[in-house]
Amino acid sequence: MNLNLAKEFIKSHLNIYHVFQYKGSRNQIEEFSGRIVDCYSSIFLIQMENNMYKSFSYNDFIAKFFIFIS
């Protein structure tokens, strides 16, 4: 997968509720739910259920540090 395909995939899932997994440092896995609310040139924003925001780069998605569960 390249950067353009990753951006298209993320944009196609805007405002749809999903459960996400993020593989952080030291093999810790964080699972959270929310929806993608904005896409920028190098990052995208996810609004979680508690109205907090997380930002991720498209490279996180390409490198499979960030994945969609549902």
Pair of tokens at residue 9:
């995939």
Q: Comparing C-alpha atoms, which of 54, 39, 45 is closest to residue 3?
A: 39
pLDDT confidence of residue 1: 80
Q: What is the pTM of this model?
A: 0.87
Q: What is the CA radius of gyration of the chain?
A: 11
pLDDT confidence of residue 32: 93
Question: CA quadruple 29, 33, 36, 40: dihedral positive or negative?
Answer: negative
Question: Which domains are present in the chain?
Answer: 3-68 (2.30.30.100)
pLDDT confidence of residue 54: 94
pLDDT confidence of residue 6: 92
Q: Which residue has the tokens 């998605």?
A: 61
pLDDT confidence of residue 24: 83
pLDDT in tens, 5-63: 999 999 999 999 999 999 988 889 999 999 999 999 999 999 999 999 999 999 988 88
